[in-house]
Structure 1
């Protein structure tokens, strides 16, 4: 799949949370693991519905996010954080025009994430190599 659109929601020390459009679907990508030697990252990807996408896009247009905005994004993430909506992707970088491979996550891989993410502890134990 090719990244058609990319909006960075949160970025710190090369760890990204983004709204990503791939072909006909939109996802929230959250970096959950980084190999600091190779630079490769694993993203936890949640497919979101069209209404949620519109809501998050309206938040993005505002610019600076409030606590309420982050709560809305967390609720959207939580609502869509279901087995058939969760994917994992391994890549060195995200950029418009880049090809991304999404791999279906197992139900045991589903984790809870609240935004903005605390990157001081990157999640481990995800069954994706």
Structure 2
């Protein structure tokens, strides 16, 4: 019985102490400014979230534009490469004549280094 009475008195004194601390804190200027400061910071956080979202959207848009630009450039390069290879083969075939064998053509390609260029280009094309 004494124990419960002591516990009740301790709780009552804690409540009084807590209430008196709160009343003292409320008299401090900074304590009264807290709600407005919290509101200002919440607005700032919301503004930053909007800015972050805008930047992410912009980056995504720029990334898409860059991808399209790179794709166009790659397709242009690939088309030019194929045209040049066709021209080379036409000139080579004209120089070698109709009696040239596939082996002769392959030797001529090897002599000019075209077979190496072609393999490197094919590897690059397959990666892209």
Normalized against structure 1, the TM-score is what? 0.23
Would you tell me which structure has more helix in proportion to its own residues? 2
Structure exhibiting the larger radius of gyration computed from Cα positions: 2
Would you tell me which structure has more strand in proportion to its own residues? 1
Higher relative contact order (CA 8 A, sep 6+): 1
